[in-house]
Amino acid sequence: MHKPKSKRDGSDDTVEANLIPIMNIMFLMIPALLLAMEFASMAGINVSPPRFTDRSTTSDPPPAEPELNFQVTILSDGFKTTAAGNPMGEGSGPSIPLRVGDPDRFAGELADSHDYAALSAAARELKLSHPGESRVTITAEGDVPMQTLVRTIDALRGETCKLGKAQTAGERVPDDCMFWQPIVSAT
């Protein structure tokens, strides 16, 4: 009787992996990824390290101006603004109430009747008295829509403020930019 040959008889049949197809794929993917990176736009934050000087400063620094600490709270019935810890309006209600007028007039604006023009005017007055200040802290009630928050940031920054070149190329911030560094805070 013929005995079938088993694999345990000492015959080693090794299978070699064919790496040619994988190498071909890698050969094609590397240039494709490099080409894709040329067209992909990357967002970056420009950071400059602190400057070192070789001489020590022994003179007293000039007296610092008191911080403005401009804060805007978005309420369902208007804006409440404070500067240097003092409320800017009268009473405990909103310092800039909602716009009054025909509700159909505001229908094209997502039924948002916050007075962004008055907020922008108040920010412009503060900017004239504190030209070096660019930060504002913004808080909102929980029922305020996101679009209202975005429009508030736009009104505080300035209608014609364009920061593209100032942030990417290191140019000076344009004069029409008011409070262009918003800090959105949760209450």
What pLDDT was estimated at residue 59?
63
Which range has the top average pLDDT, 36-40, 58-62, 95-99, 172-176? 95-99
Strands 71-75 and 96-97 come out as unpaired
What pLDDT was estimated at residue 184?
87
**What is the distance between the alpha carbons of residues 97 and 78, in angstroms, rounded to a whole number?**
4
Counting DSSP H helices and E strands in the chain, the numbers are: 4, 6
Helix (H) or strand (E) segment spanning residue 136: strand 135-140
Please answer whether residues 74 and 139 qualify as being in contact, where contact means their C-beta atoms are separated by less than 8 angstroms.
Answer: yes
pLDDT in tens, 13-43: 788 889 999 999 999 999 999 888 887 766 5
Mean pLDDT of 152-181: 81
pLDDT above 70 for 96: yes
pLDDT in tens, 46-69: 545 655 655 555 666 666 667 788
